[in-house]
């Protein structure tokens, strides 16, 4: 019986994982500098958390959640995103009592039952960032700047930052009505989905990805012309901070995001190199979600980026530091060597070195071939003659030079040698 992975779900193989770790470490370093520390959130939650948090009429909640009843009859859902969980944790752990902005990030798999295609998966990884507890537009700008700083550190160059303001609970209803009126005249030309969106949540029409609908939507009234003075001031301040720090951006008045919790600033980072699924990252302000879940009024700002999409864009050929070859390949020959090698490898590894060996214990030629293939820095040769003389042979695999090394002190000597090379 051959069982394959579920459609839209993929393995991240050992030869790719170094890239993932490298990106994750860089994110950790950059985010730490801005005061964001890691939080680990559960992979599944009560379904209500997502359906209320993300919005009942969003595609995610209507069509894409992996929801099931557990053995006690509770409806649970594999998380389609991290913000709702972050808000739950913020309230559950009374993080609001800290009186300072709470900044944290999370990393891990998310699950959405979408139609799989290039760059779109049913299990995908996100790094998400949330700053909770301030309405200051500096937070909006700072978090976007941090994201771009991260992109700079990992060598990502071709992307576009798009921003918009989605107004607030005070000014959005008026815009919603105006938009709905405009849409009415185009219903016959819009897709079937947009006809449903028009009824349930007309702003979603602006998010349609169908070419013809995008064209029609470009003629609809712009939300930025309807937002109240407070929202306008906030949006202008965010922009002036971005300009001050020379961050290029464009305003996309049709950017509405696929989740309902946003107000004020919303943003996306896209890349033309990604094809149809062109969003690397999306986020924005969500000022009412904490309160809706029973916490105190807490304005928040955050984003999440898709790791598969991001990693596919990074020019890893230019990044030398991610090469992960063993320091030493131990080549052993003869019966006596067999008993020594196990412990020798153990000692070298305990000494902090990365060590490989040939578990097949093949011929000298075949072991040297494997050493070459592993791209180790050195090969340590332990044969019968070496054991008798008490001196092993150390071969530098880069220049081919070979030297003798005393068995008794070989671990220390190799450690010094390798540390001097890195
Ligand atoms: P989102 O826009 O739904 O936002 O997802 C963020 C990113 O996750 C997208 O830009 C994309 O790169 C990646 N992504 C989404 N769906 C898929 C998929 N099916 N396959 C591969 N990658 C995907 C959120 O999730 C919000 N929680 C962001 C946020 C945090 N807002 C405030 N705080």
Q: Look at 331 and 421; give whichever has higher pLDDT.
A: 331
Q: Is 306 in the pocket of ligand 1 (CB under 6 A)?
A: yes
Q: Please, what's the b/e burial string for 125-148 (b: 16 or more CB within 10 A of its CB; e: otherwise)?
A: bbbbbbbbbbbebebbbbbbbbbb
C-alpha 308 – ligand 1 centre gap (Å): 11
Q: Is 130 in the pocket of ligand 1 (CB under 6 A)?
A: yes
Q: Is 103 in the pocket of ligand 1 (CB under 6 A)?
A: no
> 106-141 pLDDT, tens per residue?
999 999 999 999 999 999 999 999 999 999 999 999
Q: How far apart are CA 105 and CA 141, in angstroms?
A: 17
Q: What is the mean pLDDT of residues 93-99?
A: 94
Q: Torsion over CA of 164, 168, 171 and 177, rounded to 10 degrees?
A: 80
Q: Which of 184-188, 307-311, 312-316 has the lowest mean pLDDT?
A: 312-316
Between helices 192-200 and 172-184, what is the axis angle to 10°? 140
Q: Is 82 in the pocket of ligand 1 (CB under 6 A)?
A: yes
- pLDDT greater than 70 at residue 5: yes
Per the listing, tokens 């996306």 go with: 268
Q: Is 83 in the pocket of ligand 1 (CB under 6 A)?
A: yes
The residue nearest atom 10 of ligand 1, judged by CA position, is 281
Q: What is the mean pLDDT of residues 152-170?
A: 95
Q: What is the mean pLDDT of residues 79-83?
A: 98
The residue nearest atom 15 of ligand 1, judged by CA position, is 306
Contact 269, 252 (CB under 8 A): no
Task: Give strand ranges (E) for 112-264.
Answer: 123-132, 160-165, 250-251
C-alpha 268 – ligand 1 centre gap (Å): 10
User: Which stretch of DSSP H or E encloses residue 18?
Assistant: helix 14-33
Q: Which of 80-94, 207-221, 291-305 has the lowest mean pLDDT?
A: 207-221
Q: What is the pTM of this model?
A: 0.89
Closest alpha carbon to 165 in 227, 103, 122: 227
C-alpha 183 – ligand 1 centre gap (Å): 27
User: Which stretch of DSSP H or E encloses residue 107?
Assistant: strand 102-111
C-alpha 174 – ligand 1 centre gap (Å): 28
Q: What is the mean pLDDT of residues 60-73?
A: 97
Q: Is 358 in the pocket of ligand 1 (CB under 6 A)?
A: no
Q: Is 331 in the pocket of ligand 1 (CB under 6 A)?
A: no
Contact 96, 296 (CB under 8 A): yes
> 363-417 pLDDT, tens per residue?
999 999 999 999 999 999 999 888 899 999 999 999 999 999 998 888 899 888 8
The residue nearest atom 8 of ligand 1, judged by CA position, is 306
C-alpha 217 – ligand 1 centre gap (Å): 23
Ligand 1 atom closest to residue 130's alpha carbon, by position in its atom list: 33
The residue nearest atom 30 of ligand 1, judged by CA position, is 303
- pLDDT greater than 60 at residue 349: yes
CA distances to 32, 118, 142, 313, 321 from 151, rounded to whole Å, are 15, 22, 14, 11, 17
Q: How far apart are CA 37 and CA 106, in angstroms?
A: 8
C-alpha 408 – ligand 1 centre gap (Å): 56
């Amino acid at each position: 019986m051959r069982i394959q992975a579920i459609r839209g779900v993929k393995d991240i193989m050992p030869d790719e994982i170094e890239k993932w770790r490298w990106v994750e470490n860089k994110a950790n370093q950059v985010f730490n500098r801005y005061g964001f520390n890691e939080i680990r959130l559960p992979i599944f939650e009560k379904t209500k958390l997502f359906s209320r948090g993300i919005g009942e009429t969003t595609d995610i909640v209507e069509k894409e959640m992996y929801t099931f009843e557990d053995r006690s009859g509770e409806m649970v859902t594999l998380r389609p995103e991290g913000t709702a969980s972050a808000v739950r944790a913020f309230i559950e752990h009374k993080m609001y009592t800290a009186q300072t902005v709470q900044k944290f990030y999370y990393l891990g798999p998310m699950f959405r039952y979408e139609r799989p295609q290039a760059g779109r998966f049913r299990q995908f990884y996100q790094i998400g960032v949330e700053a909770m507890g301030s309405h200051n537009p500096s937070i909006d700008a700072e978090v976007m700047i941090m994201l771009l700083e991260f992109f700079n550190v990992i060598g990502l160059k071709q992307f576009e930052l798009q921003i918009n303001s989605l107004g607030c609970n005070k000014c959005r209803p008026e815009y919603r009505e105006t938009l709905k009126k405009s849409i009415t005249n185009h219903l016959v030309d819009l897709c079937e989905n947009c006809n449903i969106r028009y009824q349930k949540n007309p702003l979603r029409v602006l998010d349609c990805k169908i070419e013809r609908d995008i064209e029609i939507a470009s003629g609809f009234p712009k939300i930025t012309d309807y937002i109240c003075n407070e929202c306008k001031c906030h949006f202008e301040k965010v922009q002036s901070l971005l300009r001050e720090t020379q961050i290029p951006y464009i305003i996309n008045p049709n950017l509405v995001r696929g989740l309902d919790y946003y107000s004020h600033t919303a943003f996306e980072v896209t890349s033309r190199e990604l094809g149809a699924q062109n969003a690397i990252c999306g986020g924005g302000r969500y000022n009412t979600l904490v309160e809706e879940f029973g916490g105190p009024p807490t304005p928040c700002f955050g984003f999440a980026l898709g790791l598969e999409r991001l990693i596919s864009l990074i020019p890893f050929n230019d990044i030398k530091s991610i090469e992960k070859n063993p320091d030493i390949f131990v080549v052993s020959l003869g019966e006596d060597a067999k008993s020594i090698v196990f412990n020798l490898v153990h000692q070298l590894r305990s000494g902090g070195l990365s060590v490989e060996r040939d578990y097949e214990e093949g011929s000298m030629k075949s072991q040297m071939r494997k050493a070459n293939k592993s791209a180790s820095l050195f090969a340590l040769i332990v044969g019968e003659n070496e054991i008798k003389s008490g001196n092993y042979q150390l071969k530098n695999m880069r220049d081919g030079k070979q030297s003798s090394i005393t068995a008794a002190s070989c671990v220390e000597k190799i450690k010094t040698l390798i540390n001097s090379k890195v």
